With several copies, the nearest count.
Chain A
Amino acid sequence: MQDYDQFRAQTRAWLETNCPPSQRQPVLEEEQIWAGKSQHFHNDEARQYFEAMRDKGWTAPDWPAEYGGGGLDASQTKILEQEMARLNCRPPLYDMGIWMLGPALLAYGSEEQKREHIPRIVRGEVRWAQGYSEPGAGSDLASLKTKCEDCGDHFLVNGTKIWTTKADHADWIFCLVRTDPTAAKQAGISFLLIDMHSGGVSTAPIKLISGASVFCQTFFDNVKVPKNQLVGELNQGWAVAKELLKHERKLMSSMSSMVQDDQEGIVELAKKHTPTAPDGKLVDGALRRDITRHLMNQRAQELLNERLYHQAKARAIDPRLGMTIKHIGTAELQRKDELLLEILGNRGLSWETPSTTDNEHTIVKNWAYDKAHTIAGGTSEIQLNIIAKRALGLPA
C-alpha cells in the first residue's frame, strides 16, 4: 500500500507539471487529439501534453511496457485515472487502436503482430478504423459477405464495410472478413488487419439526416493483404470480434456520457419559451408533467448507474442490469430531444440559419443525430431481444 501512496503522490505531481492548463478543460470535439498520419494539435500545450504522456506510455497505461505501454498494474491504472479525473486532464489520445484493437491484439495477436502494431498504437503513429458492419449485415453481423480469398502468398479482399468511423482519416483498419463461404455463418469469419494505403481501398463519406458525419463506407476492390496480418486462427475471427464488441458497447455508452451537454437545462428552456405563473410554475400542466417524467427517468438512470457501481464495489454484480443500460439511455435521450424541440416550437424548425441561436442549433442537430443512437452499437430491438432471452430467460 505504501508503494501505491507513493505512486499516487508522484503521479499527481507529474500531472500537475506536465498537464498544461488548456488540457485540463472539458475537451471540445475539434480539440481531440487523434492518432495517425493526419494528427494535429490545436495548440502547443496539446502537443506537449500528448508527447509527455506518450513517452511515459500513459496513452495505454496498463499495456505491457515491453510493447511501449505504461506497464501499470490494475491499482496503479486506477490511481492514474483518479488523478487525471481530479485535475480534469483530457484523454491524451483518441484512437480505435487504443480503445479496441490493442486489447484484442494483446490477447489474440502473434508476437510478431504485437511488436509491429502495439508500439505504434501507443505512440499514436497509426490511426485505426473498424470494419465490421456491411450494408447487408447490421444486426445480423455474422452474415457479413466481404470476401477474403487465400491466394497462396497473400489474401485477396473484395467487399465493402459501412459505418467505418473516420475511415477517411485512418491508416489501418481491422476487419471481419469471410474466409470460408461454405461454413456455418460464424464459423467462416476471420479477423484481418488491412493497410488503408493498399491499392484498391477507397472510402466515401456518409451523410446523415443530421448532416455531415464521421461515418464512411469503405470499399475493398481486389486488395492484397499479407498473410501475416491475420489475427488468430483462420476462420476463428468471431471469437476476436466478440471480445471487441464488448469494448464497443462499453465505448458507445461512455462516449454518449462523454458528450456532456452544457446546454441550458430543459426547465430553463421551457420557462423561456412557454408561459409561467407568478410562482414560477409552467402554465402548461401537460408540458410540466412531460418534463417531470423525463427528469424522473433521467435521475433514475443515474441511480441505476450508481447502483451498478455499488454492486461492483461489493463484487455482487447483477449481470442483467448492464443489459438494460443502452436501451434505457438512448430511448430517454430521444424523448428529451423531442421535448426540447416541442418547447422551442417554431424556433426548433430552423437548420443553420442566421436567426437561430447556438443553443437552438445544437438542440435541432442533436435531435436529428440522436436518432442514430437507438440503432448504432446494437439496435434497441436487439437490446430488447437480449434482455428477454438473457436477463429474463424467455425461450429462444
Chain B
Amino acid sequence: MIYNEEQSMLRDTLLDLLAERSPPAALRAWRDRDGCASYDNDLWQQLAELGLGALLLPEAHGGLGFGYLGLGAAMEALGRHLALTPTVGSTVLAGELIERLGSDTQRATLLPKIAAGTVFAVAVDEGSHYNPAAIGATLEDGRLNGAKTMVLNADLASHWLVVANRGEQLCVALVDPSTSGIAITTEQLMDGSCVSSITFTDVAVGDADCLGSGCSRQAVGEALDIAALATAAEQLGGSEALLEQTVAFLSEREQFGVKIGTFQALQHRCAQLFCELELAKSALLGALYQLDSGSINLASDLASSASHAKALANDCYVKTSNEATQLHGGMGVTDEMDIGLYLKRSRVCNQLFGDSRYHCDRFASLAGF
C-alpha cells in the first residue's frame, strides 16, 4: 500500500515535468482558447515518452509494468496539476479491455500502439448518469446502432472501442472513426475538458472487429472499475494539492493583525479535510495494492473496492474544493486563482465512472442489503 521506488520516481518525474510544462494555470488558457480538444497532443507525446501509455501493460507488449500502484502514482501527479490527458480513456480503459478481451493477434497488434502513445477512445455511457448496466447500443448483422455520451478523447483518438449488445451478450466493437454512419459532437465541460457524444447509424462492423468472442460483460466491468480507481487517484491528487494551497494561503494571509491560519475554527476544518483525505487514500491504495498483489477476487471484490474508493474520493474532492474556495475568501471565487479550476475539475471527475449515489448503491447491493 505504498509506492515502491520506481513508482515514486515516476510520480516525481511527472510532477517536475508538469510543473514546468503544464501547471494548473495552463488549464485556464486551454479552456479559454478558441475551439475545443480533449487534450494537448504535444504534452501527451512528452508524457507518452515517459511511459504514460505503457504503465500497465506487460513488457511483452511494450509495457513498463508499473503496476496499478504505479497507475495511482501517475494519476495523482496528473490530478495535482489538473493535466488533461488520455491516460484514463486510452491507457487504462482501452488497454484493460484489449488486454482482457483481445485475441492474441489483437493484443499483439493493438497493445504496443497504446504503449507507444497512440490514443484510443472507449464509448460506454449513454444517459445523464453513469450506468454501464444499461447499454442500449446494438450490434446486429454487422451493423452498429446507438448513441454514446461522455466519451473521453474520442475527438482525437485514432481507434474507438464501442460497447454494445450483440444478442444476449455484450461485445466491444473496434470502430474506425472515419467509418460512414457516425456523427460526433465534441463539447467543452465546465472545467475546460472536452467529451464527445457520438451516434452510430448502421455503422458497418465486421465480426473480426470485436474484441475476442463470447460475452464481455465482466471484462467491461473490470476495466470500468479500474478506470474509476484511476479517476479516484486523480481526485485525491487534486484534493491534496488544494489542501496544501489552502494551508499555505491561511499561513500567509493576515486579518485582524494575525495569520488567519491561527483561527481554530479554520484549523479544525483543515484538519478534518486531512482526515478525510487520508481515509480516501487508504481506500484507494488498498484497492490498487490488492490488484497488484493478485489477492483480489475480480468478480466480486474489485467492484466493491472500486465503489468504496471512488465514493470516498468523490466526496473528498467535492468537499475539499468547496472548503478551499470558502477558505480563500474573496480571492477564492475569482478566476484569477487556481482554486476555481480545481472546483470545476472536481465536479467533472465526480461524474466520471459514477458519482457517490451510484457507488453507494452498488456497494450496498454487493454487500447484500
Contact = CB atoms under 8 A, between A and B. Distances in A.
Do A and B pair up? The answer is: yes
Interface of A: 133, 135-140, 143, 162-163, 206-211, 267, 270-271, 273-274, 276, 280-282, 284, 286-289, 291-293, 295-297, 299-301, 303-304, 306-307, 310-311, 314, 316, 320-321, 324, 327-328, 334, 338, 341-342, 344-351, 353-355, 364, 368, 371-372, 374-376, 379-381, 383-385, 387-389, 391-396
B326 interface: yes
Interface string B264-298: 11111011101100111111011001000000000
A206 B266 CA distance: 26
Contact of A384 (B267, B285, B361, B369): B267
B2 A316 contact: yes
What 6 A-B pairs have minimum CB-CB distances, sorted nearest first?
A209-B340, A388-B267, A140-B255, A387-B271, A303-B286, A303-B282
Interface of B: 1-2, 125, 127-130, 149-150, 185, 187-191, 197, 243, 247, 250-251, 254-257, 259, 261-268, 270-272, 274-275, 278-283, 285-286, 289, 308, 311-312, 318, 322, 325-326, 329-336, 339-340, 343-344, 347-348, 351, 355, 357, 360-361, 363-365, 367-369
A342 B149 CA distance: 17
Given A296-B308, A342-B357, A355 B279 contact: no
Contacts of B125: 346
Given A206-B334, A374-B326, A375-B333, A311 B2 contact: yes
A303 B329 contact: no
A300 B264 contact: no
A77 B58 CA distance: 42
B2 A208 contact: no
A355 B355 CA distance: 22
A345 B356 CA distance: 11
A296 B128 contact: no
A384 B2 CA distance: 25
A349 B189 contact: yes
B129 A346 contact: yes
6 contacts: A209-B339, A301-B282, A303-B1, A341-B347, A381-B268, A391-B274
Nearest to A142: B256
Contacts of B322: 334, 338, 371
Contacts of A211: 335
A271 B125 CA distance: 20
A379 B280 CA distance: 23
Contacts of B336: 206-207
Given A299-B283, A371-B325, A346 B274 contact: no
Contacts of B343: 209, 368, 371
A345 B129 contact: yes
A296 B274 CA distance: 17
A307 B128 contact: no
A384 B368 contact: no
B149 A346 contact: yes
Given A299-B283, A300-B283, A350-B187, A384 B129 contact: no
B168 to A, nearest CB: 22
B266 A288 contact: no
A388 B270 contact: yes
B134 to A, nearest CB: 11
A235 to B, nearest CB: 20
A281 B365 CA distance: 7
A230 to B, nearest CB: 27
Contacts of B247: 392-394
B190 A364 contact: yes
A208 B334 contact: yes
